[in-house]
């Protein structure tokens, strides 16, 4: 019995040790995914080229270029590669592992400099890092074309877009830029500078293009462009070429989008470009309906329009709506009505960003912008303004001529929190919709915490209107005015909060009250913008007087921005009352 027991213990120990051994082996054998090193961000490098780049007396049928790592095959070499001058038939371009091969099918022209431009299409196989702006150049003669075109691109865009190129055309027709690939090309740097090498003497057209679809010619309305109106004859190096890059503006006004169903008697639509209140006159009418006369409102400096349909006879019907600009047809659209007016009150104040940040400076009226246009009397009995103690205070309210902005007047106390209450049906819009119960709070700012700003504008002696724009440090437009008939204009902007402000001046060449971009078909360039480089700093309880000399030729350090001007020192606030004309 004891012997049997001993054997059992030994067996148990043996099996236990065996299991533990297996567990240890299994643990040691577990495969752990390697963490790897840092991501590869290096572009591939050329290790060898036969013949070498920039060779002369080229006689070969093949070019082989090797890189230090595998590179991605080209998806469509004929579209991705530009060869100048053109070679017909197009050569065979293949990539295998780290080798780029170019094979010419026919003999090349004698005594000719060729360039093969790959752009950023040569990329490593793993991470897609591009070999930037790669160009292979050779000559079948004993010298390379050696002229250089250098210059700079300016722009009023935030930056030079990626994939922006300088294009050189031997075909000087206007259609070449929109239908053909260029004769020669180089990429424009992010600072706007460019250098095109190995140019042959000759007569050319020059363009810049932010190429969105990688086909190297201008064929999309979203592509930024630059151009010279005249040809350039290159017989020596060009060192100071200047072009302005801009997003072209369509020449014709058209409807970009619109509500298919008219709800509560209101239709909203958007145009393809900004509406000029000075130059445009948009009207709307219903086909075969003389009872309903639509009323159209254009948002100032916007592309948007709201059309009201008063006296709509039925809640559900289909109409043809005709939109015209100065009696010229823009479009005829089909619309369907849902309600001639809302059966319930609707919100009249929907600008949530404004409602979160609303304030009023002591002594000034508070401005409230509604979302619906109105001509109806304001039922002040349904509006209450309360102070911090929740007690009602006396006030008056008026509607401005734009039919959408309200001014609230009261004896505001400094640093006090007030609440604006508007009950149901205090206001109705043009089709009879009534406002919904709403309330929001706002705080008053003591006048001693504000500053008074006076700006003296010194304008260039140019036969043009100008548009002066004042912005806060977030870029919000606070004031916009037309300046004309004088080279020196003084504007008192009244009380403003302490902080940083900027000024822009537009040369309004067509006098339509808005900034216009250029258009290639019409051969027009963007209207010039002067951006004062020095911010205006306003301090509490001070009068600030600034003199800004507008010079559209003076360039600042920022790409394409114009600036200049002097700033007079501020002086203590002596209670000067706001002056100046009405804002535009």
Same-domain pairing of 152 and 264 = no
CATH number for 302: 2.60.40
pLDDT at 32 over 60: no
Q: How confident is the model at residue 179 (pLDDT cuts 50, 70, 90)?
A: very high
Same-domain pairing of 458 and 567 = yes
By DSSP bridging, strand 232-234 and strand 202-210 are: antiparallel
CATH number for 190: 2.60.40.1120
Cross-strand partners of 368: 406
Q: Rounded to whole angstroms, what are the CA distances from 62 to 50, 59, 105, 304, 435?
A: 8, 9, 9, 59, 78
Please name the residues in contact with 467: beta carbons below 8 A apart, sequence gap of 6 or more: 480, 481, 482, 483, 505, 506, 508, 513, 514, 515, 584
CA atoms within 13 A on the CB side of 327: 0
Residues 304-315, mean pLDDT to the nearest whole number: 87
Please name the residues in contact with 134: beta carbons below 8 A apart, sequence gap of 6 or more: 117, 118, 119, 120, 121, 122
State pLDDT tens for residues 388-416. Answer: 999 999 999 999 999 999 999 999 999 99
Task: Give a yes or no: residue 321 inside a domain.
Answer: yes
Task: Give a yes or no: residue 259 inside a domain.
Answer: yes
Closest C-alpha to 412, from 451, 381, 449, 369: 449
| Domain termination site, one of 412, 445, 478 | 445
| CA 128/CA 70 separation, integer angstroms | 10
Same-domain pairing of 453 and 568 = yes
Closest C-alpha to 160, from 169, 152, 150: 152
Please name the residues in contact with 548: beta carbons below 8 A apart, sequence gap of 6 or more: 455, 456, 457, 458, 503, 505, 532, 565, 566
Q: For residue 254, what pLDDT is reported?
A: 95
Same-domain pairing of 416 and 501 = no
Task: Give a yes or no: residue 467 inside a domain.
Answer: yes
Cross-strand partners of 432: none
CATH number for 423: 2.60.40.3710
CATH number for 555: 2.60.40.10
Task: Give a yes or no: residue 30 inside a domain.
Answer: no
Note if the bond before 89 is cis, omega within 30 degrees.
Answer: yes
Same-domain pairing of 554 and 470 = yes
Same-domain pairing of 167 and 186 = yes
| CA 217/CA 104 separation, integer angstroms | 25
Sort 14 into a burial class: Cβ within 10 Å, 0-12 / 13-18 / 19+: exposed
Domain encompassing residue 440: 352-445
Same-domain pairing of 454 and 567 = yes
Same-domain pairing of 498 and 565 = yes
Q: For residue 300, what pLDDT is reported?
A: 73
Cβ-contact 473, 503 below 8 angstroms: no
CATH number for 72: 2.60.40.1220
Total number of domains in the chain: 5
How high is the mean pLDDT of the chain?
87
| pLDDT-wise least confident of 72-81, 123-132, 303-312, 558-567 | 558-567
Q: For residue 511, what pLDDT is reported?
A: 93
| pLDDT-wise least confident of 81-90, 151-160, 549-558 | 549-558
Cross-strand partners of 134: 119
Same-domain pairing of 488 and 520 = yes
Task: Give a yes or no: residue 6 inside a domain.
Answer: no
Sort 520 into a burial class: Cβ within 10 Å, 0-12 / 13-18 / 19+: middle
> Which residues in 177-193 are b (16+ Cβ under 10 Å) and which e?
beeebbbbbbbbeeebe
Please name the residues in contact with 287: beta carbons below 8 A apart, sequence gap of 6 or more: 319, 320, 321, 322, 332
**Angle CA(473)–CA(370)–CA(475) in degrees, nearest 5?**
10
State pLDDT tens for residues 201-228. Answer: 999 999 999 999 989 999 999 999 999 9
Sign of CA dihedral 133, 130, 98, 105: negative
| Domain termination site, one of 445, 460, 481 | 445
Residues 259-273, mean pLDDT to the nearest whole number: 93
| Domain termination site, one of 311, 337, 363 | 337
Same-domain pairing of 297 and 187 = no
By DSSP bridging, strand 366-369 and strand 193-199 are: unpaired
pLDDT > 90 fraction of the chain, expressed in percent and rounded = 77
Task: Give a yes or no: residue 4 inside a domain.
Answer: no
Same-domain pairing of 333 and 358 = no
Same-domain pairing of 453 and 438 = no
Task: Give a yes or no: residue 454 inside a domain.
Answer: yes
Cβ-contact 458, 486 below 8 angstroms: no
Cβ-contact 363, 447 below 8 angstroms: yes
State pLDDT tens for residues 479-509. Answer: 999 999 889 999 999 999 999 999 999 999 9
| CA 239/CA 199 separation, integer angstroms | 13
Task: Give a yes or no: residue 328 inside a domain.
Answer: yes
């Amino acid at each position: 019995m004891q012997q049997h027991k001993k054997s059992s213990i030994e067996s148990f120990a043996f099996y236990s040790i065996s299991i533990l051994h297996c567990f240890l082996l299994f643990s040691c054998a577990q495969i752990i995914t390697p963490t790897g090193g840092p991501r590869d961000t290096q572009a591939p490098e050329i290790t060898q080229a036969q013949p070498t780049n920039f060779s002369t007396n080229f006689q070969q049928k093949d070019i082989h270029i090797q890189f230090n790592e595998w590179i991605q095959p080209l998806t469509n070499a004929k579209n991705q590669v530009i060869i100048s001058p053109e070679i017909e038939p197009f050569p065979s371009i293949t990539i295998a592992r780290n080798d780029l091969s170019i094979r010419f099918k026919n003999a090349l022209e004698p005594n000719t400099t060729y360039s093969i431009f790959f752009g950023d299409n040569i990329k490593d196989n793993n991470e897609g890092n591009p070999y930037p702006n790669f160009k292979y150049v050779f000559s079948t003669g004993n010298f390379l074309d050696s002229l250089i075109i250098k210059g700079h691109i300016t722009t009023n865009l935030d930056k030079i877009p990626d994939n922006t190129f300088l294009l050189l055309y031997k075909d000087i027709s206007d259609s070449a830029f929109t239908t053909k690939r260029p004769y020669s090309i180089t990429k424009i740097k992010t600072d706007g500078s460019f250098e095109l090498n190995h140019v042959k003497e000759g007569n050319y057209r020059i363009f810049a293009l932010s190429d969105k679809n990688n086909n190297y010619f201008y064929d999309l309305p979203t592509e930024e462009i630059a151009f010279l109106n005249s040809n350039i004859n290159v017989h020596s190096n060009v060192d100071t070429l200047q072009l302005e890059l801009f997003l072209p503006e369509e020449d014709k006004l058209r409807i970009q989008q619109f509500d298919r169903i008219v709800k509560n008697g209101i239709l909203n639509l958007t145009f393809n470009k900004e509406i000029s209140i000075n130059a445009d006159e948009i009207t709307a009418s219903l086909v075969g309906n003389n009872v309903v006369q639509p009323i159209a409102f254009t948002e100032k400096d916007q592309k948007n329009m709201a059309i009201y349909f008063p006296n709509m006879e039925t809640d559900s019907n289909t109409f043809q709506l005709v939109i015209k600009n100065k009696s010229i047809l823009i479009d005829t659209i089909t619309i369907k009505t849902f309600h001639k007016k809302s059966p319930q009150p609707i919100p009249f104040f929907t600008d949530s960003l404004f409602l979160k940040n609303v304030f009023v400076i002591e002594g000034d009226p508070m401005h409230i912008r509604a979302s619906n246009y109105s001509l109806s009397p304001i039922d002040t009995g349904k509006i209450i303004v309360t102070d911090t103690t929740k007690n009602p205070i006396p006030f008056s309210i008026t509607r401005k001529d734009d039919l959408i902005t309200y001014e609230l007047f009261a004896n505001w106390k400094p640093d006090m929190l007030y609440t604006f209450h508007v009950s149901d049906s205090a206001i109705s819009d043009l089709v009879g919709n009534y406002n919904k119960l709403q309330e929001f709070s706002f705080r008053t700012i003591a006048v001693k915490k504000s500053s008074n700003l006076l700006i003296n504008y010194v304008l260039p002696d140019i036969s043009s209107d100008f548009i002066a724009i004042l912005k806060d440090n977030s870029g919000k437009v606070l004031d916009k005015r037309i300046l004309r008939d004088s080279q020196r204009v003084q504007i008192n902007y009244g009380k403003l909060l302490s902080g940083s402000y900027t000024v822009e001046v537009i040369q309004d060449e067509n006098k339509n009250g808005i900034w216009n971009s250029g258009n290639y078909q019409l051969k027009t360039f963007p209207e010039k913008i002067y951006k004062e480089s020095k911010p205006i700093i306003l301090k509490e309880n001070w009068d600030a007087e600034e003199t800004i000399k507008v010079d559209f030729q003076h360039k600042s350090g920022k790409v394409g921005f114009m600036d200049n001007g002097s700033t007079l020192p501020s002086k203590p606030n002596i209670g000067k009352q706001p002056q100046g004309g009405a804002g535009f």
